[in-house]
Structure formats: C-alpha cells, structure tokens
Amino acid sequence: MTVETVNPATGQVEYRHELMAPSQVEGVLAAAQAAFPEWSRRSLDSRGEVLHAIAAALRRRSDGLQRTMTAEMGKLRREALAEIEKCAVACDYYAGHAAAYLAELDIATEARRSYVRYEPLGCVLAVMPWNFPYWQVFRFLAPALMAGNVAVLKHASNVPRCADAIAGVLEEAGLPAGVFGVLHIDNAQAAEVIRDRRVVAVTLTGSERAGSSVAGNAGAQLKKCVMELGGSDAFIVLEDADLDRAVAGAVASRFGNAGQTCIAAKRFIVVDAIADEFTRRFVEAAAKLRLGDPGDEATTLAPMARRDLREELQRQVEASIARGARPLLGCKPDASHAGYPASILDGVVPGMPAYAEELFGPVAGILRVADEAEAVRVANDTSFGLGGSVWSADPERGERVARQLQVGAAFVNAVVKSDPRMPFGGTKRSGFGRELAGHGIHEFMNIKSVYVA
C-alpha cells in the first residue's frame, strides 16, 4: 500500500512510501529482541554517553530536521527548532539524572537486607502522533533508553520522513543496531505488533479513539501501556488577573503549533467582572497573528497539518455558532490548502462542541462565569483532564484554585507545558500513566522487591 505525505502549506505531495511487508516488520522486531540483552546490561554511564551523543546529533542536524518537520506537518520554523532543542535537552537530562531515579531503594524490614530495584522490561512499542513529531517520540524514548529498554516506533502516516530522520540521528550517535526501529505500518498491522510476544509494553499519544483501541488490544494481551490522549484545557482568568500577562499567555497557549496541541488552552473561563476587557484584548492580540508559509520568519500562525482536520474543526465551529456562540474573529477556513485563521468564539455554553469537545486547531472559546467557584465548576465540567491554568494577581489564590482542578498538570500564571523535570499525563478521558521525570522512567520498568533473610 502506498502512503502519500501532503505539504500542508501548498497541498503538494511531498513524499510517497510503501507500508512494510510482514517480513520487514519481522526483521525490525527480531532486531529489537536481539539487541535487548546487551543494551540492558550496559552501565548507566555507558547508556548516558549515547544519550548525550544523541543530543549533540540533534543539535548538529537541527536545520535539516526542521525542514522535514515543516514540510510534513507545517510547523513554523522557529517552533520546529525549539522542539528539536527540547528533545536534546531531554536526552541530556536523562543521561544526567537516570542514576538518581533508578538507584536501589533500601526498605527497613526484619530481613538482613530488603530493597527495591528497577529492571527494564524489554521492547516498547510507541504509537505516536504528528503534531510534535520529534518531541512526542523523545519524550518516551529518552527515559526508555536510559532504563535499558529497546523501542519500535509506529509514527503517524503523514510524518514518515520525521520517523526516518529520528532513526538517522540515533544511528549517527552510535545507538546499537536494533535498539530502536521504525515500523512504517497501518493500524491493522500495529494491532498485530501489539499481540507479538516480543513487545512487552505500549505507549501512545493520540486521540481518545486511538487510545481506546490500542489500550484495549494491549489489555487483552496483559501488556502494560501508557496513554496520553486528548485535552480541553481550561484557562481560568480571575477578576484580579494581570490582563496583559494573561492575554499574552492566552495567545501563546491557544495559537502555538496552529492550536494543534493536547495541552493548549481551549476553554477560556473568564469571570464576568473582567470578561469584556479580557475578550477585547484577546481579540486584538490574536488578530495580529499572520497565517502563511511556515518556512517564512514573518509567519506567526502555521497552517493546520491536514485539510481533513481543518474540515472537522470547521464543522465544530459551525455547530457551535448554530447553537448560539458568537464569532468574534476568524471562524472560516483560509483560501490556502489547510490554513485556518486565529479564531475566537464568545458565549460558549453547554450543548456546543466548543464546550464539550476538543477543538484541535486555532479556535478559542470564551466561557463567561460569575465568580471563582463557578470557574472551578465549569473547568471540571469536562470529560478531559490533561492540564489547566489559573491567572490571578495573588499566587496563593491561584494555587488554591489550581489544586481544585481535576487535571494532571495545573499551572498558575503560566502556560501549561511539558518539562523533563516534572511528570506529564492526564486523568479522566485524557489517559493514564505518566511520562517524564522519575515517574516516566519507572513506567516501563519492573519494580522488583528483593528480600534477603
């Protein structure tokens, strides 16, 4: 089967490739199985040297990696370069901190010695999305490799060259053959790989639908999995917020990566006392964003990654308007192949897609509330639970509100982001398990109790 990659900015076919035959899939899995014993026995210092080398290779090849990402999924040049640097930082971080995370933990019992040790599981299958085609991979890969696991990647079908570029970086850095492999396969083939006895665990970042399917298949095989799924993050603006700071955060969070981010702010929950002023400033700031060629430094809003995604976003916008939402800015597709302008809907209430669904594109919804208590209630009135932020001049008040949010990450006077030093993941239908920090490196390890009488 032939798969095409279409440039989001031009609509032109960038690349065609064939899905792997069963014999090719077998080769990748066999190589991973063969590589695991030696890689898992290496010292942490030895694995750390490879991770540092990977970070260096990412930085050396950043220009080429950026061009591939921009062509395949439309990311702005500066955003792409920042993503590549973030991958390098994660590799360096785990190379330097894995020893502390994986140190044996002594437990006081009646035994001569009792302790907990961490052992790698084996081959981890990663099913990854297109919106951060390098970072999503390295977010799981850096800790997995430092833990001594090996990995195979089934990347999104519209970023095949990004997947191959990652493999090239790892090879250049000296990662032994078989420790990482790319599988150019479809969803049916991925289900077969999950069932393969050589795959011991699965991690997925993607939609609820994809997560349900993959987690179901993994569960049927009694295999550990981590799911990072969709989000509809609340952005709570209280009446004492610094509006200049809040508006800047709102624009960055909602329109970065063309709004195609799970942890982007999507529901702007604003207290009535300042709602008009916040909305006016938000519209003014968003209207200055320039949609265009993502390779042009003057462009400040990238196109969406695929035309079908833009069509689905427009369906959600039109359905919300039909039910009473007021379009204040944009809300209609651009004339380009997959462009969608910065858009804002006011008067979003229950019963609208903009209230209940994830809008995976550059559309913000304004939800007006009477006070702090209603803001918390509305923020938690969602099936998602990935992240959320609170904006208040009083950090203690902001923290009090943040602690009430039913999310995996709550930020005060800052935009929600992932960071190698902090665990990342969601609750409710935003998934389960954690990536990054110590929690992330422990997810794909056997946490073994040892008792010596």
* Residues 372-425 pLDDT 10s: 999 999 999 999 999 999 999 999 999 999 999 999 999 999 999 999 999 999
3 state SS of 224? strand
Q: Is 152 helix (H, G, I), strand (E, B) or coil?
A: strand
Q: Give the pLDDT of residue 115.
A: 98
Going by DSSP bridges, is the β-strand pair 199-205/180-182 parallel, antiparallel, or unpaired? unpaired
Say whether 72 is catalytic. Answer: no
At position 156, the amino acid (one-letter code) is: A
Marked catalytic residue, from 228, 358, 435, 443: 228
The pTM assigned to this predicted structure is 0.97
Give how far the C-alpha of residue 162 lies from the chain's centroid of Cα atoms, to the nearest Å. 16
3-state helix, strand, coil in the chain (%, to 5): 45, 20, 35
For residue 262, indicate whether it is catalytic: yes
Closest C-alpha among 180, 71, 69, 38 to residue 132: 69
pLDDT value of residue 391: 99
Q: Which pLDDT belongs to residue 389?
A: 98
Report the share of the chain in percent with pLDDT over 70.
Answer: 100
CA–CA gap between residue 130 and residue 382 (Å, rounded): 25
**Numbered ranges of CATH 3.40.309.10 in the chain:** 233-412
CA distance 46 to 83: 26
Q: What is the pLDDT of residue 125?
A: 98
Out of 1.10.3720.10, 3.40.720.10, 3.30.870.10, 3.40.309.10, the CATH code matching 233-412 is: 3.40.309.10
The pLDDT tens digits for 39-97 are 999 999 999 999 999 999 999 999 999 999 999 999 999 999 999 999 999 999 999 99
Q: What is the pLDDT of residue 1?
A: 86
pLDDT of residue 183: 98
List every span in the chain annotated with CATH 3.40.605.10: 2-229+428-452
Contact 354, 382 (CB under 8 A): no
Domain 2-229+428-452 is found in CATH 3.40.605.10: yes
* Structural contact between residues 346 and 328, judged by C-beta atoms closer than 8 angstroms: yes
User: What gap in Å lies between CA 105 and CA 438, rounded to an integer?
Assistant: 13
Choose the catalytic residue: 91, 162, 225, 262. 262
Low-confidence ranges of the chain (pLDDT < 70): none
Q: How distant, in Å, are the alpha carbons of 12, 239, 259 from that of 77?
A: 19, 36, 16
